[in-house]
Amino acid sequence: MADPVMKAWRVESLTEPPSLVLRELPIPEAVPEQYLVRVEASGLAFGDTLLVRGRYQIKPPLPFTPGSEVVGTIVGVRGGAEGFLPVGTRIASSCQQGGMAEYALVPVCHAVALSPDISAGAALALRSNFPTSLYALREVAQLRPGETVLVHAGAGGVGSAAVALARWLGARVIATAGGPEKVAAVKEMGADEVIDYGRADWVDEVKRLARQGVDVVFDPVGGEVGVQSLRCLAYGARYLVVGFASGTLTALPANRLLLHNATAHGVLWGEVRQRDLSLARRLTQEVMQAYAQGRLHLMPGRSHAFADAPAALQALHTRHSVGKLWLTVGGN
C-alpha cells in the first residue's frame, strides 16, 4: 500500500518573481515534542514573501515548503508526556516552515488550544501579529498612557494590531497607510489620526499633529520611511525596528537619535518565542483573553484559496492587502 500523501506548495528554486509549485508529498511523521496537524488555515506573513525569494535572514535548503503559522487539528503526537494536548484538539501554532500544506508539523511548546467558535483568521492574528505588537509596544518601548505613537503600515497585519494595542494601552495613535481604502480601515480601527504616506509631506503632517514629537515609532516598513521617521521624534523617544516591508533596510541616521536622546530597538518576535517561552505564552494568552472578552478588536483580513497561494503572497509583497492574510486549506 502506498504511503499517504498530501498537497504542499514547494519552493524548488529561488527566482524573481518567486516560483511556487504545488506538489504531492508524503504526509510527515511527528518526532518527539511535535504535533502532526491537519491544516485548516495557513497564515501569511511578510517574511514569507522574502523567504520564497531567498531574501530573508533564514534560508532553508531547497526544496522547501514555506509557511510559518497554522490553524488546524492535532491528528498525531509523539512523546506522550504529561501536558500534551490530545488528538482532535484544534490549535494555532507557529512552525519552523511547512505551513503551506495540507498537513504540518508544529512544536508542542508553541501550540495554543482554540475554542471552536474563533475564526481561523482571528486565531492566526492573535497567535502572531498581536503578541508581536504587544511585546514591541509594552515590553520593549515601555509605552505609557498619554504618549503618542506613530504606527507605520497601520492597515497591515502587525500594524493594525499595533494600532489596536496602542489604543488599548491608553496612547494617542497617529498611523500611516497607503491609499484611501487603507486609510479608512485604519480609522475604523480607532487611530486618532491617519496619514496617507503617499503624500510627499507626510513627515510635516506628523510634526503638525505632534508638535513635541512622537514618543514611539512602530516601524514594520523600514527603508526611507524609517529614515524620515527619525525627524518626528520627541525627547527620549523609542524607535522600534519591526520589519522591512519596503524591501530596503533602514540606514538609521544616528545623529537624530543623539539629538533627541532617543533609542532604536530591534523586535524579532520569533527569537523571543525561542528564548523566553513563558513570556511568549503569557502575551499570547493575554491578547486572546482580551479578544474573547471583547476588549480588543481585529481588522478584518482576507482568506485566499489554497490554490491561490502565489497570488496571495504577491498581494502581500506588493502591499495590496488589508489586515491579516491566510490560505484556507481545509475544514476540520
Residues 112 and 243 in one domain: no
DSSP 8-state class, residue 156? B
Contact 216, 147 (CB under 8 A): yes
**Does position 331 have pLDDT exceeding 80, yes or no?**
no
**Is residue 204 located within the same domain as residue 321?**
no
**Pure H helices in 169-317:** 180-188, 202-209, 223-229, 254-259, 269-275, 277-292, 309-317
- Tens of pLDDT, residue by residue over 269-305, are 888 988 999 999 999 999 999 999 999 989 988 999 9
Same domain? 142 vs 252: yes
Q: What is the pLDDT of residues 119-172, one digit of tens each?
A: 999 999 999 999 999 999 999 999 999 999 999 999 999 999 999 999 999 999
pLDDT at 323 over 90: no
Residue 263: give the domain boundaries: 129-270
Q: Which residue has the higher pLDDT, 324 or 80?
A: 324
Note whether residue 296 is domain-resident.
Answer: no
CATH of the domain at 53: 3.90.180.10
Same domain, 238 and 144: yes
Looking at the fold, whether 264 and 313 belong to one and the same domain comes out as no
Do both 316 and 187 map to the same domain?
A: no
Asked if 62 and 169 sit in the same domain, the reply is no
**Hey, how many other C-beta atoms are within 10 angstroms of the C-beta on 302?**
14
Residue 195 is which amino acid?
I
Mean pLDDT score, 226-237: 96
> Per-residue pLDDT for 32 more than 90?
no
- Compute the distance between CA of residue 155 and CA of residue 286 in angstroms, rounded to an integer: 22
- Please give the model's pTM, rounded to 2 decimal places: 0.92
Give the residue among 190, 231, 88, 128 at the shortest CA–CA distance from 136.
Answer: 128
What string of DSSP letters covers 185-217? HHHHTT-SEEEETTSTTHHHHHHHH-TT-EEEE
Dist CA 324 CA 64 (whole Å)? 23
